Amino acid sequence: MIRASLVIIGDEILSGRTEDKNLAYLAQWLGKLGIHLSEVRVVLDDESDIIEAVNSLRKRYDYVFTTGGIGPTHDDITTDSIAKAFGVKTKIDDKALIKMKEYLAGKELTKPFLKMLYIPEGGELIYSPATKAPGYKIENVFVMAGIPSIMQGMLEGMYDYLEKGEVVHSRSFDIFVGESFFAEKLTKIQGRFTGLDIGSYPFSRDGKYGATIVIRSADENKLDVCEKEIQSLIKEY
Amino acid sequence: MIRASLVIIGDEILSGRTEDKNLAYLAQWLGKLGIHLSEVRVVLDDESDIIEAVNSLRKRYDYVFTTGGIGPTHDDITTDSIAKAFGVKTKIDDKALIKMKEYLAGKELTKPFLKMLYIPEGGELIYSPATKAPGYKIENVFVMAGIPSIMQGMLEGMYDYLEKGEVVHSRSFDIFVGESFFAEKLTKIQGRFTGLDIGSYPFSRDGKYGATIVIRSADENKLDVCEKEIQSLIKEY
C-alpha cells in the first residue's frame, strides 16, 4: 500500500481564522491514484515544528506533501525549514530565475521576488501546465503553496513523480437511525469480509440522528456482495 | 503561554469524504480563553496511530483534545486506544449508567449502548448543560465526539477544567496587491515591534491576488500603534 502524509503549515489555520481546504482535495486526488493519505499534521509557522513534522513523516510514509509558507513575506519560512530538515542550504533555481525575469519584463527583481526562487539544494522545481507557479520536491517531500487554486495547479505537476497504487473504491449509504441500533448487525457484516472495510459516520440533520455507512475495497465484487447486505440492513429500519 | 493540541480521529477525514469543522471552532473557542492551539494531527481509526499521537502530544502541550471515534460501532476505537496510551483498562462509569437507564426508560440496554459508557480508568465524565452526551477527561487529555454539534456541547462542559491564559487580540486588514510588492515594508514594520506578530495570508479573489495582514498581540496599545503603520502601508497601493 502506498501511503502519504500532509503537513499544513500556517498560524492562520491554527488560530481558526482560515479553514483549510487542501486536506480534502489532496485526499481525493491521491485516492484516485491509489495513494492513501494516512496522516496530517497542522503546525505553526515555526521552524522547529516544521522540521520535526517533516522529518518524522518522511521516514514513515512514501510521500510527504506540505502546503503553505512559501510566499515572499517574513512569515514564510517553509523552504528554509525544509532545507534545515534535510541538512542542506537553499539555492536559487536558474530555470526559475529566467522565468521570473520574463514575468517581470524589465521591472526590478526585488528581494521578495528573489526569495521565492530559492529552493533547498537537491530539490527540483516542478512546473505544471495548470499554473505558472511551480511547486518543488526534495526526495519524497513535495512542497506546495497554501492558496487552494495555486496548490491544485502545483499538484497536477507532481502527477508524474508519484508511484500509483491499487485504487480503493467506496460506496456509501445513509441510514436514518442512531448508530446504537444497528451497530451489532454492522459488526457481524464486517466480520464476514476481509479486504473490505466498513465505516460508520454518524450525523445529525434537523435534530435527527443517522449515519453514513461507507464500504471500501479494491475488489468491486466484494463491494457488490457487501452492498446487498448493507441494503437489507437499512430496510430493517 | 498555555498551549493545546488536537487529535482529529477518523478515516472519513483522511479520505476527504468529510471536511473537518472542529479545528476552527476549537481554535477560536480556546483563543477566547487565552489558550493557543499549537498543533493538530489527523489520524486514522488505527490504535497505534492514536496512541502515538496522544502520547506524543500530552507530554508536549498543556492540553490535548480529541474528536471522533467514541460512538457505538466497531470502528469507534478511541476510548480503548486512549486507555492503552495511559496503560489503564476501561471501566463503566456508574453515573453514566444511571443516566443511560433513565434515557432508555425500560428499553433494553444493548451492547452498543453499553459500549459508550466505558471510559479509561482514572478518567472523569464531563457533563455539560448544553448536551446530554458527556465528554470525558483523563489527566490533560479531553475526549469529545466528532459530530460538530455534539462536540461543541461537550466542549462547554470542559470550560471549568481549563486554566485560562492571556488573551491575544488580533486585527486584520485586506490589501489588494500581491505580497511581493509590500513584503519588504512589512518586514520593516515587524522589526519595530516585540510582543506583536504580523502575519500575511495571501488570497486569490476573482483572479486577483491580495493578502490579509493580521496583527496579533495581548497588548491593545501596541495594536493601535501597529494598525496605523499597516493602514498607511495599505494607502500606498
pLDDT at A144 over 90: yes
Q: Do A83 and A16 fall into the same domain?
A: yes
Domain boundary among B109, B143, B161: B161
Q: What is the pLDDT of residue A129?
A: 76
Average pLDDT of the residues of chain A: 94
Instruction: Show Cβ contacts of residue B216 under 8 Å, excluding neighbours closer than 6 positions.
Output: A15, B168, B169, B170, B196, B197, B198, B199
Q: Do A72 and A181 fall into the same domain?
A: no
The string of pLDDT tens digits covering residues A166-220 is 999 999 999 999 999 999 999 999 999 999 999 999 988 887 889 999 999 999 9
Q: What is the pLDDT of residue A207?
A: 78
Interface test with B, best of A1, A14, A144, A167 (most B CBs within 10 A): A14
More confident residue, A107 or B57: B57
Q: Do B120 and B196 fall into the same domain?
A: no
Q: What is the 8-class DSSP label of residue A129?
A: T
Phi, psi of B181 (to 5 degrees): -80, -25
CB-CB under 8 Å, A15 with B111: no
Q: Do A149 and A193 fall into the same domain?
A: no
Q: What is the 8-class DSSP label of residue B159?
A: G
Residue B50, H or E segment: helix B47-60
Measured between alpha carbons, how far is B12 from B45 in angstroms, rounded to an integer? 9
Instruction: Determine how β-strand A169-175 pairs with β-strand A141-144.
Output: unpaired
CATH number of the CATH domain containing B118: 3.40.980.10
Q: Do B13 and B45 fall into the same domain?
A: yes
Nearest to B27 among A15, A23, A37 (CB): A15
The string of pLDDT tens digits covering residues A25-72 is 999 999 999 999 999 999 999 999 999 999 999 999 999 999 999 999
Tell me the average confidence (pLDDT) per consecutive run of 10 residues in chain B, 237 residues long. Answer: 97 95 98 97 98 98 97 95 98 90 89 92 89 89 95 94 96 94 96 96 86 96 98 95
Q: Do B31 and B131 fall into the same domain?
A: yes
Residues of chain B found within 8 Å of residue A45, distances taken between Cβ atoms: 199
Q: Do B108 and B10 fall into the same domain?
A: yes
Rounded to the nearest 10 degrees, the angle between the axes of helix B22-32 and helix B148-158 is: 20
Q: What is the pLDDT of residue A76?
A: 96
Nearest to A183 among B72, B184, B198 (CB): B72
A139-163 mean pLDDT: 95
Q: Do B180 and B63 fall into the same domain?
A: no
Measured between alpha carbons, how far is B98 from A217 in angstroms, rounded to an integer? 41
Chain A's closest residue to B22, CA to CA, is: A16
**Virtual torsion, Cα A38, A44, A48, A50, nearest 10 deg:** 40
Interface test with B, best of A75, A154, A188 (most B CBs within 10 A): A75
CB-CB under 8 Å, B10 with A72: no
Residues of chain B found within 8 Å of residue A12, distances taken between Cβ atoms: 199, 201, 214
Closest CA to A180 of B58, B113, B103, B77: B113
Closest CA to B169 of A86, A15, A139, A10: A15
518522511: which residue's cell? Answer: A58
Instruction: Determine how β-strand A124-128 pairs with β-strand A131-138.
Output: antiparallel
CATH number of the CATH domain containing B179: 3.30.70.600
Q: Does A84 touch chain B (CB under 8 A)?
A: no
pTM: 0.94
Measured between alpha carbons, how far is B8 from A79 in angstroms, rounded to an integer? 27
Chain B's closest residue to A35, CA to CA, is: B15
Nearest to B44 among A38, A41, A71 (CB): A38
Q: What is the pLDDT of residue B229?
A: 97
Q: What is the pLDDT of residue A95?
A: 87
Q: Do B73 and B128 fall into the same domain?
A: yes
Domain boundary among B126, B161, B196: B161
For residues A83 and A182, is the Cβ–Cβ distance under 8 A? no
The range of the structural domain enclosing residue B44 comes to: 2-161
Q: Indicate the residue type of B108.
A: E
Q: Do B144 and B178 fall into the same domain?
A: no
The alpha helices in A16-73, defined as continuous H runs, are 22-32, 47-60
Q: Do B6 and B100 fall into the same domain?
A: yes
What ipTM, to 2 d.p.?
0.93
Domain boundary among A161, A193, A212: A161
Counted domains in chain A: 2
Measured between alpha carbons, how far is A42 from A116 in angstroms, rounded to an integer? 22
For chain B, the first-to-last Cα distance in angstroms comes to 37
Nearest to B147 among A10, A45, A202 (CB): A202
Chains A–B, number of C-beta pairs less than 8 Å apart: 180
Residues of chain B found within 8 Å of residue A230, distances taken between Cβ atoms: none
A149-160 mean pLDDT: 94
For residue A100, give the C-alpha cell: 521570473
A195: Cα within 13 Å, side-chain hemisphere: 9
Q: How far is CA A231 from CA A173, A192, A213, A226, B135, in A?
A: 8, 16, 10, 9, 33
Measured between alpha carbons, how far is A72 from B202 in angstroms, rounded to an integer? 10
Q: Does A1 touch chain B (CB under 8 A)?
A: no
Instruction: Show Cβ contacts of residue B85 under 8 Å, excluding neighbours closer than 6 positions.
Output: B50, B51, B54, B55, B58
Q: What is the pLDDT of residue A28?
A: 97
Q: Do A149 and A173 fall into the same domain?
A: no
Nearest to B112 among A44, A111, A184 (CB): A184
**Virtual torsion, Cα A79, A27, A20, B45, nearest 10 deg:** -110
Q: Does A37 touch chain B (CB under 8 A)?
A: yes
Closest CA to A142 of A128, A129, A47: A128
A225-229 mean pLDDT: 98
Q: Which residues of B168-204 are buried (b: 16+ CB within 10 A; e: fewer)?
A: beeeeeebeebbbbbbeebbebbeebeebbbbbbbbe
SS3 A211: strand
Q: Does A232 touch chain B (CB under 8 A)?
A: no
SS3 B62: coil
